[in-house]
Amino acid sequence: MNKEYKCLQPTYVSKFVCDGAACNSKCCSNWHIQLDEAAYERFAAAAPDIRAEIMANLEFNKESGRHEIAHRGGCCSFVREDKLCKLQLRCGADFLLDVCAEYPRKTHLFPHDFTQRALCMTCPVAARLALTAKEPMTYEEVTFVSGREAYFEKETNEEAIEATAFFKLQKRCIAVLQDHALTLKQRMATLKAYLEAADVFWAEGVLAEKFDELPVVATDGADFADFDVIAMVAFLQQRAQDDDGATKEYTCEVVAALLTDDNAAEEEVAAKLQNLQRAFEENCLRTYGHIFENYLVNEFFIELYPCSKLGSFSHNFRIFAALFALAELFLGAKAANGKEITEEDVLAVINWLSVRTNHFVGYMDLISEFLSASQ
């Protein structure tokens, strides 16, 4: 049943139009979509000719006990040669499965039918729209009508939302990330100090009442990531068993930039890491700082930081900072190895991160586990 929802969203969301031709129908090629019960019933009740075509292109997945759309030639059976969807063209968007109709939108549903939504940066079209704008990301309040509440991520603990002053906290943190009086690394370090102070307020049980008294103090950017990023990469590699081509490429770049000698002294590795970080600053942030700012702001908003995971505000920040640290490591290694950094390189690393934060079940838990063990 359709309902009306109040929504806070980045203004770029209303400009987004799905365009399979622009991304070669990427999401239609990489995902095997399983049907929920409502979608199967909707398909089964379709006109006979449409129902027959659909049923001929479904496969039963014994592990999940659900039907899924078959792939032909590495792509969803319903994608035409022009990269448009046969089902949507014939039956309309309301006929589609929830994920097909909603992706790349990610919607959080709060009490009183209030929502926040943004777009996942795993979609190349959405990423280029949201990240390459030179202006800071802005937000708007809108209303929309949807019957796909089952697809929304529900945040039902109204008491916790009020106790943590979540919306106020989120807004103020994003303001720090968009403070152009500071370098991007200074903003990250400032946000780290700010959320550490917020933890003290929270422990005293007065955050909601005293939040406006919590000062934002500009901080040097040297220590925004207080963990061993090289050890974190090794940890993730060992446990995530991520063996795709992009991961291999990034890992080899890091090894070439930092670990050419297995017996290298700790001081030598530290010096090389500093060189990598300088290369990142000079070859990435100076030219593409707006892309990283927009990515960090969008990620902070869409994943509900600083309350994304269980734990303190500062622990949540360390998870968030780990994403930026990985981007710095991968792109800084490429630059330190003498390679030119392009906009496509930056977007590719952000896509690598976004796939893992949005589509790899348990990946962020691995980062959280590493950070908890390294404190």
Residue 221: predicted pLDDT: 73
Give the 3-state secondary structure of residue 165: coil
User: Which tens digit of pLDDT belongs to each residue from 27-45?
Assistant: 787 777 888 888 888 888 9
Task: Report the percent of the chain where pLDDT is more than 90.
Answer: 51
- Could you tell me which residues are beta bridge partners of residue 8? 116, 141
Cβ contact 95:87 at 8 Å: yes
77-86, 104-113, 336-345: the lowest-pLDDT one: 77-86
User: Which tens digit of pLDDT belongs to each residue from 121-150?
Assistant: 999 999 999 999 999 999 999 999 999 998
The average confidence (pLDDT) of the chain is: 89
Q: What is the DSSP string of 36-89?
A: PHHHHHHHHTS-HHHHHHHHHTEEEETTTTEEEE-EETTEETTB-TTS-BHHHH
Interatomic CA distance for residues 52 and 91, integer angstroms: 14
| CA-based nearest residue to 70, from 80, 58, 62, 83 | 58
Q: What is the mean pLDDT of residues 359-368?
A: 88
Look at 92 and 117; give whichever has higher pLDDT: 117
